[in-house]
Amino acid sequence: MIAIVDYGMGNLRSVQKGLEKAGGKVVVTGDSNEIDAAEGVVLPGVGAFGRCMENLEHHNLVETVKHAALSGKPFLGICLGLQLLFEESAEFGPVKGLGILPGKVARFPESAELKVPHMGWNRIQKRGNPDILDGIEDGAWFYFVHSYYVVPDKERDVATVTTYGASFVSSVAKGALFACQFHPEKSSAAGLRLLKNFTRMVERKGT
C-alpha cells in the first residue's frame, strides 16, 4: 500500500489518480499509523512553504514524515514535497524545513527575460541513475509550476537538473528516497513511467 500524506494541502486527488493509473494501491491519509504501516509514502505539496510546515505540525505529522523518509522504504516527494525535505526556505523567511536533506530553498531571480513562476514543460538532464528513473530518457519532458528551487549542499544527492535561465536541481535521490520539483502526475508518458517505477519499488519492498 502507498500512503499519500494528507496534511490539508497538496494536489492529493491528481496524485492519487496518477498512482492508481500506474497500478498502485493507494490510500490518502493523515493518520500516522497508516503512514507508518505503508510500504511506500508520497509527500505532495502545493502552496506556501511556511504554511505547509505549519499544517504538518498542526496534524502532528512532522516526525511521521521524517521517519518515513529515513526508513529505507520508497518515498516520493512532489513539488513542495521536495522543498520541505530541506533545512530552510527563503519563501517569506527564512522558514525552517524538515531538515532531512542538507541545503536550502531559493527563489528564481526576477528579470525581464525570466518569468516567475517557472510554469510549463521543460527537460530534465540526469546526474544520477536511481531506479525510479529507469526507462526515462535523458532530456525527457516534465511539467513544472514553481517559483522556488532547491539548492542541495551535497552534489551526490542531485538526480536531475533543468535549465531555466540557469541550471537548477529538479530532483534529488538518496537511497529509496526520490523527490522532484516537477509534477509526474501531470507529465504524460514520462511521468506515468516514473510513477510505475515507484509502484514497482513499493511492490518489491512489500514482498
Residue 16 grid cell: 492519487
Catalytic residue among 39, 52, 79, 180: 79
- For residue 185, indicate whether it is catalytic: yes
| Cα–Cα dist 161/88, whole Å | 20
Is residue 110 flagged as an active site residue? no
**CB of 128 within 8 A of CB of 72?**
no
Give catalytic status of residue 87 as yes or no.
Answer: no
Residues annotated catalytic, as ranges: 79, 183, 185
